[in-house]
Structure 1
């Protein structure tokens, strides 16, 4: 399951249902006042009606928008169309008013382009196939029994193929910032995941001195 983050007023936008994607809403005022914070998301959608607000939102997201990055889409008013700097930092944008259908299609397109996610909620890389709807993993058509954390590790890596994650990144993203265990936890779960994937485990590459990445 991919995690979508919406930064904006809760009642201003009806977030579309997309298979394999769940939403979390962060209030725009709260985000701007706090200057942003580390988020655990795979796609970001934000609403901005003024250049100042747009700058503050993007400032808080800057660590997440550096390539390789998570897709970020902006919902803007027509008064922002002259601000080219905004559109250089987001993957796509919609100008209000827009239809629910257009928003849904733009989000699906961005997700497919970045993660290789098909509309039916499947991610396939080599012999590995991850079904985000049923949380199942198959290798060459054979179902692989994974623990929750093993599945979440594989999901993060495969949906961000080519991107290197530090052990700290993975620990915070999967176990949470309040987890008191050490980074060794990540290594243990990676080892178990590789053992279960068999030959397909060659896709999970150790980046020496840094962490791990999924190699196409």
Structure 2
């Protein structure tokens, strides 16, 4: 069972969106009253210092720009940011008008982020004609940490 748990953890780290459950308890574990699953934080956790994102304690694999975009929006919750501003800050190493950069680049990254966030996709709100904003929702649902 321990091997199955380790394999499940490894798979969930390598494949985005995959969540592994712990193996069924053994009679010995039940007799000892040992907790099967370590206390994991619930909800969406964005660790800015370590550049990590997790959902219900399971790591979420994000590309460099996806994390940068999510982190930028999360630092200024409830504030609408235009595509142009996001391009200037998140893609600051690329100059405007670069062949592979357009306003739709932001839209594509937001779409990919929403797909990876799953049930937490609603934290990224589209403000039609203006841009995007980060809406964390109820307190405790989304946590932003610095390490």
- TM-score of the aligned structures, taking structure 1 as reference length: 0.41
Report SS of the residue matched to 2:54: strand
Q: Which residue of 188, 193, 205 corresponds with 2:108?
A: 188
Q: Which residue of 71, 75, 78 corresponds with 1:162?
A: 78
Q: Which residue of 2 aligns with 1:207?
A: 127
Pairs aligned (count): 92
Report the Cα distance in structure 2 between the residues aligned to 1:153 and 1:201, rounded to whole angstroms. Answer: 14
Report the Cα distance in structure 2 between the residues aligned to 1:133 and 1:161, rounded to whole angstroms. Answer: 18
Report SS of the residue matched to 2:116: helix
Q: Which residue of 53, 56, 71 corresponds with 1:140?
A: 56
CA drift at 1:205? 0.3
CA drift at 1:133? 2.2
Q: Which residue of 1 aligns with 2:18?
A: none
Q: In proportion to residue count, which structure has more strand?
A: 1
Q: 4+ residue runs of structure 1 moved beyond 6 angstroms?
A: none
Report SS of the residue matched to 2:79: coil
Residue 174, structure 1, aligned to residue 94, structure 2: no
Report SS of the residue matched to 1:165: coil
CA drift at 1:131? 1.2
CA drift at 1:141? 1.2
Report SS of the residue matched to 2:125: strand
Alignment of 1:2-151 (within 5 A): 127-151=43-67
Report SS of the residue matched to 1:149: helix
Q: Which has the higher contact order (CA 8 A, sep 6+)?
A: 2
- TM-score of the aligned structures, taking structure 2 as reference length: 0.59
Report the Cα distance in structure 1 between the residues aligned to 2:77 and 2:120, rounded to whole angstroms. Answer: 14
Structure 2 unaligned regions, length at least 5? 1-40, 137-147
CA drift at 1:139? 1.2
